[in-house]
Structure formats: C-alpha cells, structure tokens
Amino acid sequence: MKYRFPEDFWWGTATSATQSEGRVAGDGKGENIWDYASEHFTERFHGGVGCSEASTFYTHYKEDIQRAKEIGLNSFRTSISWSRLIPDGDGEVNPQAVAFYNAVIDELQAQGIEPFINLYHFDMPMALQQKGGFENREVVDAFARYARLCYELFGDRVRYWFTFNEPLIPAEAGYLHPRHYPYVSDFGRAAQVLHHIVLAHCKAVAAWRESGRQGKIGIIMDVIPVYPRSDSEEDLQAAKMADLFYTRSINEPMLLGHYPEELLTILKEVDQLPQTQPGDCELIANTRVDLVGINYYRPRRVKARETPLDASQPFVPERFFEEYIMPGRRMNTSRGIEIYPEALYDIAMVMKNTYGNVPWFVSENGIGIQDEEQFMVDGQVQDDYRIAFLQEHLSYLHQAIADGSHCLGYHMWTFVDCWSWQNAYKNRYGFYRLDLATQQRSLKKSGQWFRSVIDNNGFGEA
C-alpha cells in the first residue's frame, strides 16, 4: 500500500443543514436567509431551484446514515440549522428540531460513525437578519445563547464541535462581493460583520469551555492559498495583499488571537476599521481552539494591478492586486475553477509552520461536475475523474503528514448530491447520485473506491 494513512484517521464526508435537510409541512422550522432568498431572488439560483428542494435528509436521515455505514465512513460532518432549532433565532426552542437532531446523532453513533457538528453554515435566521444579522452586535449574544443550547441538548454525545464554517464568507459574499443575501457591496459593513463573527466564535468557544463537557471545540476555515504570477517585487506584494485580506484577516484572529497589524494599518488609512468595544481584543487574544477544519477547492493566482482602480471609488481589497490567469492551468470546466492538488501540501505546511501545528483535518474537498448522467453505465455514474481527483489530493496530503503536519482526517464534499449556494444542483459532488425527481440515491463508482480506501486505510498508485 503506497499511501497508507495513520491509524484512527478520520475518513468521512461533509454537508450542511440548509443544503441537505429540506423542509416538510409542520416541521416548526423558521425561515433563514436562504429560504427567503431562494423564494424572492429566484433568478440568482441555477434553474430557479431553492433550498426547500434539498436532498431530504430530514426525512431520509436513517437510510442515508445506513448508506454512510455501508461505504465505511467513521465520521460525518453536518450542521445544525439555527432557524430550525430556534425559529426566530433568539426565542423558544422547536421541540421537533430537538427530536430530529437527537435522532440523527443517536443513529450516527449506533452505526459507529462519529458526528462532527457545526453551528453555523451561512444560514442566518431571517428574523435576526431583519435586525441586521451579524452587523448587529446583539446577534453575537444570540449566537452565543444558541451555542450554549446546542451544547446542553446534544453535548453529552457530540465530541467534536465547530463554531463556523468558512467565517469569512458571510462577510465577503454577503457584504462585499454580493453572491449571498443580503447582496450588499460595502467594505465597511463587511468588516463589521467579520469582526462580529470573530466575537461570536469566541463567545461560543467560551460557552463550550464553561460547559465542562468532554470533547473538542474548533472552527472550519476556507483556505485559498495565494500564488503570485512571478517573483517580481510587484507580484509578490500583490500576493501578500491578497493573502492579507482574504486569508490572514480571519485566520490570525481565530488561530493566533489577533488581527494582522498590517491590515489594521491599511484599514485605518482608508477609514474602514470596524467599530469595537473595550474587551474585544482581550476576548480574541484569550480564545484558542482545539481543532481546525480546512476547506480546500482551488488556489488563488494574482498579479500586480495593471489597470489601477479609481481611488475615488469605494474601497475594495482588489485595489492592491488582480486575478492572474495562468497559461496551461488545469480547469474543472463545470465549476470554472482551477484544479491544483499541490496546494493541499502547501496548506498543510502553513498549518505546521505558521499556526503552531494545531491538529487539523480536511473538512471539505471535492469536485463538482455538471451533467454527470453522461457518465452513467448500467445505472451507475462512472466518475473516474472524481477518483483521480481524490487520489491526487490524498497523495499530497499523505506527503504532508509524512513531513510532520498534524492532519487527522479527510472529509469529502459531499455524501449525497446536495443543493449548493447559487448553483443549486448544477454541479454534483456526491458519492451518491441523487435523482431529483424520485429522491432515489445510487452509489457512484467513486463511492466504491472510497470504501476500498477506508478498508485499507490507504490506496495504491495515484
């Protein structure tokens, strides 16, 4: 076995509540921003398909968990829907949600699968969004209360908790480059949202520590490694700035306990510093996580700006760099993103050398392909491209572990084809194909391959 992984390695998959659960009449769930946006901004979603048409995990969780067992998963990451558990975000608890999440956790454990539970995956309750969402500091305390309730309700069985998935995204995609509701383009508001998310994370971690329960508390980060066009001083500076705004801005407060000084200096110069209160910096400085999930899909390639942006226009980080389209790059043409497995090794070395070799795992990695039906033979998707993708990424991860990075596992996105933000079901990522008309699941060839990887705790030639 050429690529053999450490004993007790976490082999799993990842999904989220909004992307997988779906809704049924009378389930008591409150509306979140995706429920609202997919009803009122239908044109922003591929085919007009909203999240109510997700992959029905709410009603099929038992069969899906059995399928997870059949391919050998020893861990499974999902999220709790804040608006399902607390319909208005800060009021009464929905007993049907408590029963559902208890049943999911109990079934996972009965099948020998470790639940990894995330508290926030982009899904702000609409009632709180109407009060400003994470722009409103009161929502920070509402999130802390929600976290405490989750620990009280489920913390006797869940050993691995995560506060946020990709905490930069609600700020960047919701308030700077408008891909998520509320579709705002305002750097100052984005910076305020990001600061409040950092505080919400810190308070949720503190609530876990105060609970005295056994287990680990962590966060799931979206790391997009930055590569410059060349070694010129200008291109290197462009890469430094892209990394500062889109990676270090969130990684350093979450993992090192402080914002980068260079970032604060720039934001002060352009009058974009978020409002803070006494004690904020101390709270951030005193918060540490036990475990980090890393989501990786693509690299970021940049160059020095060749067409300067108008300084009189609203501030954006792209003032300091622009995208570089590298000749000959490998592309996933369905998704429009570069495939670069080598970056997973580079990320692992950053975790080792910059962030104190904190224990971490790959919490998302995968490839989304459009029209997978074209690869069906005798009723099965022959997704050899997904197997090759996994082999390449896992081979670089294996090398990183050999070189001392403290990686504990690998979770692929995703288990059953699920609904995606904006793209709905355009691109499919799962080990199981979902037939949207019938909701039937069928195992793809990659799922069979992954079962063999788990059985052998590794694989042969990449």
Give the DSSP letter string of 426-442.
Answer: SEE--SEEE-TTT--EE
Residues 415 and 76 sit within 8 Å (Cβ to Cβ): yes
- Crossing angle of helices 95-110 and 137-154, in 10° steps, is 50
Q: Cβ of 182: how many Cβ atoms within 10 Å?
A: 17
Provide the residue type at 25 as one letter. Answer: A
- Distances from the Cα of 125 to the Cα of 54, 81, 139, angstroms: 18, 9, 10
C-beta of residue 30 within 8 angstroms of C-beta of residue 91: no
* Amino acid at the residue 35: D
Tokens of 6: 């450490």
Q: 295: exposed, middle or buried (C-beta count within 10 Å: 0-12, 13-18, 19+)? A: buried
Active site residues: 166, 364
Cα dihedral 206→361→197→82 (10° resolution): -80
Tell me which H or E stretch contains 168. helix 168-175
Q: How many separate helices (H) and strands (E) can be counted in the chain?
A: 16, 21
Contact 45, 422 (CB under 8 A): yes
What is the Cα–Cα distance from 35 to 79, expressed in whole angstroms? Answer: 16
* Lookup: tokens for 156: 């006797």
Phi, psi for 50 (deg, rounded to 5) = -95, 175
Query: What tokens were used for 175?
Result: 């308030």
Q: What is the 3-state secondary structure (H, E, C) of 209-267?
A: HHHCCCCEEEEEEECCCEEECCCCHHHHHHHHHHHHHHHHHHHHHHHCCCCCHHHHHHH
Nearest Cα neighbor of 176 from 166, 168, 186 is 186
Q: Does the CA dihedral 260-244-120-30 come out positive or negative? A: positive
Structure-token match 């995560």, residue found: 162
Asked whether the beta carbons of 277 and 202 are under 8 A apart, the reply is no
Pick the closest to residue 385 from 399, 404, 366 (CA basis). Answer: 366
Neighbours of 185 (CB within 10 A): 12
Q: Report the interhelical angle of 187-211 vs 168-175 (nearest 10°).
A: 160
